[in-house]
Amino acid sequence: GTQPSLGEVAGIPLPATTVDNWHQIQGFEAQSDDLLICTYPKSGTTWIQEIVDLIEQSGDVDKCQRAAIQHRHPFLEWARPPQPSGVEKARAMPRPRVLRTHLPTQLLPPSFWESNCKFLYVARNAKDCLVSYYHFQRMNRTLPDPGTWDQYFETFISGKVAWGSWFEHVRGWWELRNNVRMLFLFYEDIKRDPKQEIQKVMKFMEKNLDGAVLDTIVQETTFEKMKANPMTNRSTAPKTILDQSISPFMRKGIVGDWKNHFTVAQNERFDEIYRQKMEGTSINFCTEL
């Protein structure tokens, strides 16, 4: 078939369907009681949304599955007519709403900054993110073919991937974290101490759940559980969209898989580029557990 291509808004590559719907996305009206889950792709979006879902439903797994079927946290920039767009789904939702986006700060609809809503950002270290995105683009038929590993390594560094540069995305959101109501989490922290990080999310959502519920949420959101869960493993997505025979959507879920992909030279080069691009920021990632 033909290669899916990316469009662009203000220099940021985005899926063409998102660009086509840009006017509607920019006009989205955020509410003060919205919670917006923000991530760069492949940083643990599915994981955090499952955590948030379970907290919302007070750890009730069955209720969570039903709620998820009805309206799984609409993805703001989703647009694939004739299906309702993310914006349309969000508009039809009961409040308080949980929404999702991968947009960088400069492309977020302005109403989010004016609404005083809550932001939950999850960041993942760049090296594992690159690896995960590479495998995702191999199996995702709606994104361009990544080419070889060596080619994709360059594409990712240059930011010519959907939703733009990892470096700019993470920097942008990190720098705003104290200006708005934001909880900023790291994938690696959730992996290392899920209970502690889930507790932070609970507090942020102003939910008071007891220890047994917290333990349930920890157990239900392990990689193994989520890989086996049809609500989270995307097994129902058609093969023409996600070809899981190439690479599963729930792939490895670990910290440090970059070591199985980066050559020594690539690692040195990446560290140098990282240093340049992240200069002056106080953000600190761990790349191994």
Binding test (CB under 6 A) with ligand A3P, winner from 113, 257, 267, 277? 257
Q: Which stretch binds ligand A3P (CB under 6 A): 41-49, 56-64, 65-73, 81-89?
A: 41-49
- Of 83, 102, 86, 70, which is closest to residue 27 (Cα–Cα)? 86
Binding test (CB under 6 A) with ligand A3P, winner from 250, 258, 266, 278? 250
Pairing of strands 98-101, 12-15: unpaired
| Separation between Cα atoms, residue 13 and residue 30, nearest integer Å | 24
Binding test (CB under 6 A) with ligand A3P, winner from 12, 87, 217, 226? 226
| Separation between Cα atoms, residue 15 and residue 86, nearest integer Å | 14
Q: How far is the CB of 187 from ligand A3P (least distance, A)?
A: 7
Q: How far is the CB of 259 from ligand A3P (least distance, A)?
A: 12
Q: Restricting to residues 106-165, name those near ligand A3P by CB under 6 A.
A: 128, 132, 135
Find out whether the peptide bond into 96 is cis, omega within 30 degrees of 0.
yes
Binding test (CB under 6 A) with ligand A3P, winner from 13, 15, 44, 172? 44
Dihedral-angle region of residue 11 (phi above 0 means left; psi in -120 to 50 means alpha; beta otherwise): left
Q: Is 45 among the residues that bind ligand A3P (CB under 6 A)?
A: yes
Binding test (CB under 6 A) with ligand A3P, winner from 63, 71, 234, 251? 251
| Separation between Cα atoms, residue 182 and residue 118, nearest integer Å | 6
Q: How far is the CB of 232 from ligand A3P (least distance, A)?
A: 7
- Strands of the chain, DSSP E: 6-9, 12-15, 35-39, 98-101, 118-123, 181-186
Q: Is 189 among the residues that bind ligand A3P (CB under 6 A)?
A: no
Chain residues in the site for ligand A3P (CB under 6 A): 39, 41-47, 128, 132, 135, 191, 221-223, 226, 250-253, 257
